[in-house]
Structure 1
Amino acid sequence: MSADLGQPIVIDNRPGAGEAIGAGVAAKAPADGYTLLLSTMTTQAINPVLYPKLPFDASKELTAIGRVADVPAMLAVNPSVPATNVPEFLRYLKANPGRNYASPGAGTPNHLATELFKRAADVEVTHIPYKGGAPAVQDLMAGQVDFMLILAPEAMPNVKAGKLRSLAITTQQRSPMFADLPTVSESGLKGFELVVWYILLAPTGTPKDVVARLNKSLNTVLNDSALKSKLAELSIQPAGGTTEDATAFANKEAVKWKKVIEESNIKVD
């Protein structure tokens, strides 16, 4: 986008509080098109429910430029788990209630989706939250936990190395990047899906012509064959589309994850 716009783009990483710190900075920035937010689903579809006292309202103070990409997850187990597919794994969990699963932290998409998986499969498993994905994956490989929903780019190197076993992918349809891997949905939990989506946002009030120019640039870049190839290597599917598409999609996802949070009674300190 920097090359397409003829403008330098400075990446200002603001980690912490499940994206809330970075999102707060963007929400309060001047609405001039010069401060944007690249976020995951967390900012719009999860945090408003998990953190009702945030000092900003993402639905009112941030507006969509466009969806950037979708990243699937994999249901992965430690190789010592006696299961090579989802039905075998569910039988194992039912016969051994109280087995545990890892997540990058309470309230993360991985955590919420595993709670959805737990309820859909009617199994009793214990959540072990970590401070980030890397230590969670390390303990999964070490056998400290039994399974995890891991983003495909994080999972694949360890699956190929034999340190993890992937049982299924979390998209609704099989991914062309992993054509031989069944989906969780086709493996018995119909309708189950976890796709971590990325979206580009701007402060609400950013002029419509600026938003339109940024959306056009985003779509131009996402259609670039070299970038598509690079993203495919990382198991990332480019998205794109209109600002209206992005807004509608985010609103639909917010309804889905609000229901999961409330029905699972998930609380975050």
Structure 2
Amino acid sequence: LAELATAGTARKLGFSSPGSGSPGHLAAEVFHEATGMNVLHIPYKGNNPAVLAVLAGEVDGGVLATPSLLPHVKAGKITALAVTSRQRSRLAPDIPTVAEAGYKSLEQEVFYIAMVPAATPDAVVQALEKAFAQALTKPEVKQRLLDLDLVYEGLTGAASGKRLAELSERYGRIIKATGMKVD
């Protein structure tokens, strides 16, 4: 990762992402801000085309979903430098985290929230939270999450709202600082 950052200060590096405004796009901008490297964001229409761009040498790299990269990493066609999560991927435990590679500020995780309209009665919200918690104890659901390299945190609605506000504040600063736009 340090070598990539150094190379990016000498010349502009093209990074693929699944699209403008995607987590991969944001991660490339965070990398630029943290290292000062020159990044040219090249959006593709989805994760698989962005991976193919890396494979074909159309771009210098990308910040892309682990499950789609892993077969190419295992085949020796792509070199994985680090995962952006706080912990190593359960699918690829040999790949270090960005923090382990010396770039803790690059940590970024995709956060999915199930939501309902604000006027939804508390009893309905509680029933939905309970149903989600029950569904997520099922082995087939746990396996599907593992296959997608997702970690279920089991946050309540209030905790999810707090986390969303924290992420919005962090990424809002980055978006403003970099002038990032969605095409």
**TM-score, normalised with respect to structure 2:** 0.91
RMSD between superposed Cα atoms in Å: 1.6
Q: Partners in 1 of 2:182 and 2:5 — Cα distance?
A: 28
Shift of 1:92: 2.7
Find out whether 1:170 has 2:84 as its counterpart: yes
| Cα shift readout 1:109-151 (whole Å, capped 9, x = no counterpart) | 2111110111101111211112222222111110000100001
Shift of 1:176: 4.1
| Cα shift readout 1:57-80 (whole Å, capped 9, x = no counterpart) | xxxxxxxxxxxxxxxxxxxxxxxx
Aligned residues: 183
- Equivalent residue, structure 1, for 2:157: 243
- Equivalent residue, structure 2, for 1:76: none
Shift of 1:189: 1.4
Residue identity in the other structure for 1:104: P
Find out whether 1:256 has 2:153 as its counterpart: no
Shift of 1:181: 1.4
Identity %: 37
Q: Partners in 1 of 2:131 and 2:47 — Cα distance?
A: 31
- Identify the structure with bigger relative contact order (alpha carbons < 8 Å, sequence gap 6+): 1
Gaps of at least 5 residues in structure 1 are: 1-85
Q: Partners in 2 of 1:151 and 1:197 — Cα distance?
A: 13
* Aligned mate of 1:208, from 116, 119, 122: 122
User: Could you tell me whether the CA contact under 8 Å between 1:172 and 1:191 is conserved in 2?
Assistant: no
Q: Partners in 2 of 1:106 and 1:176 — Cα distance?
A: 27
3-state SS of the aligned residue for 2:110?
Answer: strand
Shift of 1:259: 0.6
Find out whether 1:114 has 2:28 as its counterpart: yes
Find out whether 1:140 has 2:54 as its counterpart: yes
Shift of 1:262: 0.4
Task: Report the CA distance shift for 1:230/1:107 in structure 2 as closer, same or farther (over 3 A).
Answer: closer
Q: Partners in 1 of 2:4 and 2:182 — Cα distance?
A: 29
Select the structure that is richer in helix. Answer: 2
Find out whether 1:155 has 2:69 as its counterpart: yes
Find out whether 1:217 has 2:131 as its counterpart: yes
User: Could you tell me whether the CA contact under 8 Å between 1:177 and 1:232 is conserved in 2?
Assistant: yes
Residue identity in the other structure for 2:142: K
Residue identity in the other structure for 1:106: S
Q: Which has the larger radius of gyration?
A: 1
